[in-house]
Amino acid sequence: MNTSNTSNTSAASIRLNKFISDSGFCSRREADKLIDSQRVSINGVIPELGTKVLSGDEVRVDGNLINASAENKSDRVYLAYHKPKGITCTTEHHVKGNIIDAIGHPERIFPIGRLDKPSEGLIFLTSDGDIVNKILRAENAHDKEYIVTVDRPLTERFIHAMGAGVPILDTVTKPCTVTMQSKFVFRIVLTQGLNRQIRRMCEYLGYGVTKLKRSRIMSIRLAGLKVGQWRNLTPDEMHEINSAVEGSTKTALETEQKIDANVTDRNAPQTRTKPQGRMRGRRQGISNTAPPRPGRGRKPKA
């Protein structure tokens, strides 16, 4: 069902998914899902993707009023959290051990990206849905550093292979920096975030990960945060993050233009991403190991 302001191009209007994410309710991606599921209304009318919100419009999600955010984002929350092993990076409260309940913050927040349940380390959370959308864009290529412990003694051959790129999930990982820390521990810096990337890379080369900790995102380090602790990001840290994602503006506008072109025809065939098939790369001289499990596509999760 269309709302009267779907095609409105007034300068005072704002895209519905951005209005919801800016309010701190959820990320822009999650807002799109809510809109598509018809859980959102504007002035009592069910909108569609691409709808614009005008000044004075009443936006509700599941009947709950969504308030517009402050223009200077002074009401936004930005946290650094040392996620413990066993905590799941989801906002779904019915999931036992979810990250939101683990933190217990009074504001409505959500994680920026993910960190595997068996992994620990640094992750950001925020009530600013717009910055989540920008940080997660692959082209931003933010450094993420991990300290990894494996079940076999490391070799120079393994370190070289990890750094050069490993075939997983029907692709080859980007070259990265890998350094040996001790007999069983290495440090790796990634700019990708494929599903269980480090674990899959190690598995391909015949190693099992026994411990994985994210120690740094960009220049923001885990140091000083005990397991389970969180702190507010400093103004200097936020300045770095905002500077790093500044280039996302053009991409965001291009994405919105594509949406505008598509919402005029809800009956157009939908393009779906095919699930990734079984990895077909051959092992690089490593024997006596079980074959890797098949992947199920790419997700922004280390």
| Rounded-to-integer distance, Cα 89 and Cα 99, Å | 5
List the catalytic residues.
Answer: 116
Q: Do the bridges between strand 185-190 and strand 110-112 make them parallel or antiparallel, or are there none, so unpaired?
A: unpaired
| Residue 298 Cα distances to 82, 112, 131, 146, 201, angstroms | 24, 16, 21, 19, 14
Q: Which tokens hold the place of 100?
A: 């939101």
Residues 122-128, mean pLDDT to the nearest whole number? 92
Is 122 found in the same domain as 18? no
Q: How confident is the prediction for the chain on average, in pLDDT?
A: 80
Of 35 and 110, which is predicted with more confidence? 35
Of 281 and 122, which is predicted with more confidence? 122
Secondary structure (DSSP) of 63-108: TEEEPPPPTT-TT--EEEEEEPTT-B----TTSTTBHHHHH--SS-
At 258 the pLDDT is 40
pLDDT band at residue 286, thresholds of 50, 70 and 90?
very low
Question: Does residue 184 belong to any structural domain of this protein?
Answer: yes
Q: Which tokens hold the place of 218?
A: 């960009």
The label of the residue with tokens 């919100």 reads: 53
Is 170 found in the same domain as 55? no
Is 161 found in the same domain as 38? no
Last residue of a domain, one of 209, 228, 247: 247
CATH code for the domain of 234: 3.30.70.580
Residues 15-35, mean pLDDT to the nearest whole number? 86
Q: Which of 19-28, 34-43, 162-171, 270-279 has the lowest mean pLDDT?
A: 270-279
| Residue 170 Cα distances to 72, 158, 166, 257, angstroms | 43, 20, 10, 30
At 301 the pLDDT is 53
Helix (H, G, I), strand (E, B) or coil at 186: strand
Amino acid identity, residue 197? Q
pLDDT band at residue 297, thresholds of 50, 70 and 90?
very low
CATH code for the domain of 200: 3.30.70.1560
Q: What is the pLDDT of residues 215-274, one digit of tens each?
A: 999 889 998 899 999 999 999 999 888 887 776 544 444 444 443 333 334 334 444 434
Question: Does residue 24 belong to any structural domain of this protein?
Answer: yes
Question: Does residue 283 belong to any structural domain of this protein?
Answer: no
Q: What proportion of the chain, given as a percentage, has pLDDT over 70?
A: 74
pLDDT band at residue 27, thresholds of 50, 70 and 90?
confident
Structural domain of residue 102, as residue ranges? 74-142+219-247
| Rounded-to-integer distance, Cα 27 and Cα 20, Å | 8
Is 58 found in the same domain as 102? no
**pLDDT higher than threshold 90 for residue 128:** no
Is 234 found in the same domain as 105? yes
CATH code for the domain of 23: 3.10.290.10
Is 205 found in the same domain as 224? no
**pLDDT higher than threshold 60 for residue 294:** no
At 71 the pLDDT is 66
The label of the residue with tokens 């599903």 reads: 195
Is 187 found in the same domain as 158? yes
Question: Does residue 299 belong to any structural domain of this protein?
Answer: no
Is 106 found in the same domain as 130? yes
Q: What is the pLDDT of residues 38-86, one digit of tens each?
A: 999 999 999 988 899 998 899 999 999 998 876 656 678 999 999 999 9
Question: b/e string for 145-154 if b means 16 or more Cβ within 10 A?
Answer: bbbbebeeeb
Is 131 found in the same domain as 231? yes
Of 156 and 286, which is predicted with more confidence? 156
Question: Does residue 281 belong to any structural domain of this protein?
Answer: no
Is 45 found in the same domain as 184? no
At 278 the pLDDT is 39
Determine contact, residues 218/142, Cβ cutoff 8 Å: yes
Question: Does residue 265 belong to any structural domain of this protein?
Answer: no
State pTM to two decimals.
Answer: 0.68
Q: What is the pLDDT of residues 176-226, one digit of tens each?
A: 999 999 999 999 999 888 999 999 999 999 999 999 999 999 889 998 899
Residue 26 burial (C-beta neighbours within 10 Å; 0-12, 13-18, 19+): buried
Question: Does residue 264 belong to any structural domain of this protein?
Answer: no
Of 147 and 91, which is predicted with more confidence? 147
Residues 169-177, mean pLDDT to the nearest whole number? 96
Question: Does residue 233 belong to any structural domain of this protein?
Answer: yes
Is 55 found in the same domain as 81? no
At 142 the pLDDT is 83
At 59 the pLDDT is 95
pLDDT band at residue 150, thresholds of 50, 70 and 90?
very high
Number of domains making up the chain: 3
Is 138 found in the same domain as 81? yes
Last residue of a domain, one of 202, 230, 247: 247
Last residue of a domain, one of 44, 65, 86: 65
